[in-house]
Structure 1
Amino acid sequence: MADHHQRVSEQILSFDELVSGMLSASIAQLGVQQNADMRRIRAWAALSPSPP
């Protein structure tokens, strides 16, 4: 019984690490996309006429 508990516990920890890594990668990808969006917005803002 203890072996089964240990194995399940290790599998849960492994799954937790996998999900955490996937979440971190997703958050990083979102940050990259937001930076690209901000660059495009700034470029359009620089091209638009500003009030006197």
Structure 2
Amino acid sequence: MPNESRSLTAPIPLVQTWCLLLRHEDDEISTHAKEMLLNTFGNMRAVLKFVKKHKIRV
């Protein structure tokens, strides 16, 4: 199910942290944050839906 949204979620503060780290100047850190989001939500569309729902700054 690579393109399907997963039913998993993460605590809002954790997702906020990952979104903050996406903008980090260290590529290793920003890549890891993106991987964590994708592993949790399945795809970026699901991440964006969660972020909008919870008004998380990206």
- Structure with larger RCO (C-alpha < 8 A, sep 6+): 2
Compute the TM-score of the two structures, normalised by the length of structure 2. Answer: 0.28
TM-score (norm 1): 0.31
The structure with the largest helix share of the pair is: 1
